[in-house]
Structure 1
Amino acid sequence: MNLQSFQENLQEKGINPSNNQLQQFETYYHTLVEWNEKMNLTAITEKEEVYAKHFFDSVTAAFYFDFTQELHVCDVGAGAGFPSIPLKILFPHLQVTIVDSLRKRITFLNHLASELELEGVSFYHDRAELFGKNEKFRHKFDVVMARAVARTSVLSELCLPLIRTNGMFIAMKGAHMEEELADGKEAIELLGGKIKKIEHFQLPENNGERNILFIDKKRKTPKNFPRKPGVPNKNPL
């Protein structure tokens, strides 16, 4: 997917990036590749693949959810900034908070935000389990997102505690969502969530199958979740 194809595919979905926004994606790509030479940010570095499998993939959530609203979005385990930074570029009014457990990735994201001249972004070096216990952030976000970070049952424990009642959890996944969901339904309900819908689709130009899970936050998460760092992964609900 080249820049023109990226633009055209977005326009087909009703998103019309400005020249400045397209230039921000170009800067994002070059910054990502430059920093990837000194730290492991992504295995995908070929330009057309980055545009398809990182940039466009990140934005697909906006085809099924209204990001034109005033929203405070938290991205858990964003790595090199996916999906929240591409969404922030296209919807600059969003307030974005990113939490990641690796300090070097937070260093990259701070540099990237400066290069892209982004405002309304905050980055935190922390374990998601501890971040979700912090009263400053717990039950505070309108939307929490995670992209291919862990199994749905684990993600739910890390993300649902951060979402305000009537907010939304958006989990962006690859193939085989049905199996994961079967294992994660009880955890989602225990943590105060209710499955709203699943969107299944193919990325353009044969770039793979994707699923996006939308979970409504119906009530506050019980105080004992998330559990201590490492426990959700080792012993999923």
Structure 2
Amino acid sequence: MSVGCLCIHGYTGSPEEVQPLVDFLKNRTDWELANPTLPGHGEDLDLEGHYYQEWIATAELALLGLVERNDTVVLVGFSMGGMIAAYLAAKYDIERLVLLSAAGKYISISQMLKDIGEMVMDAWKGALGSNELFKRYKKKMKDTYLFSTIQFMKCVQFTRPYLGQVHCPVLIVQGELDGMVPRKAAEFLNEEIPAEDKELLFLKQSKHLICHGDDRDELCQKVLEFLG
């Protein structure tokens, strides 16, 4: 039986956000893996003029290709990609769904302040240029337009009602140190999704970029066990 696996990255991100998981699955399965770049996204952001409907349509077309070529299809979505994946799981006959740091609700002010505090400490030590979190935030603030931020909000608003129509088995994974989408978001997803087969996993050492966190080995193994 052939298996197709679609992985969807997050807002202002690129396939690289989920690439460690994609590589892990590629090395251990014979699945067809798709990890598309949403319009306007990628290493060089060009979000101006791109609508959320384009992001959803790109993921949906990739999914339809996998459905056509495989007996079974599974979905993995990170951050905003998690909300798009949930929407697709509600709309199509999907075998299993994995939601990573899915941006359904809430923003963690406290963790963001901790992250900023770490940046300030690095700045005091003269090491801010080597702070990876600072470099990522700086790039995103520079490249993100107000228009596209509104599109992100519209994407979440559009996809959120479909959580109640997801009935396939679901694995929800959340980093406890996530400064963008904190613990309450995963609990919200767990409450909203009516699927009987649900599992909620918190990773103690992971921030928002969960596939690149200190728990990534545990994460990858868990996803493989769940999808396999």
Which TM bucket (shorter chain)? 0.3 to 0.5
> TM-score, normalized by length of structure 1?
0.36
- Normalization by structure 2: what TM-score? 0.37
The structure where helix makes up a greater share of residues is 2
